[in-house]
Amino acid sequence: MKSTQILSALENVSEVIKQYQIQNFGEVTVSEAQRHLQKQQSVREATSHVLWMNESAKLFVENNSLNKAQRWLSFGQGVAWNQGLSSIDDFRHANMPSGVLFAK
* pLDDT digit string, tens, across residues 7-34: 999 999 999 999 999 999 999 999 887 7
Q: Which helix (H) or strand (E) holds 57?
A: helix 43-62
Say if 45 falls within a structural domain: yes
Q: What share of the chain has pLDDT > 70, as a percent?
A: 86
Angle of the 43-62 helix axis to the 66-82 helix axis, nearest 10: 160
Say if 103 falls within a structural domain: no
Say if 101 falls within a structural domain: no
Say if 25 falls within a structural domain: yes
Whole-number Å distance between alpha carbons of 68 and 74: 10
pLDDT on residue 76: 95
Range of the domain at 79: 3-95
Say if 102 falls within a structural domain: no
Say if 13 falls within a structural domain: yes
Distances (CA, A) of 54 to 6, 45, 63, 88, 89: 10, 14, 14, 18, 20
Phi then psi dihedrals of residue 72, to 5 deg: -70, -40
Say if 65 falls within a structural domain: yes
Q: Which of 102, 37, 41, 25 is nearest to 75 (CA)?
A: 41
Say if 9 falls within a structural domain: yes
Total domains present in the chain: 1
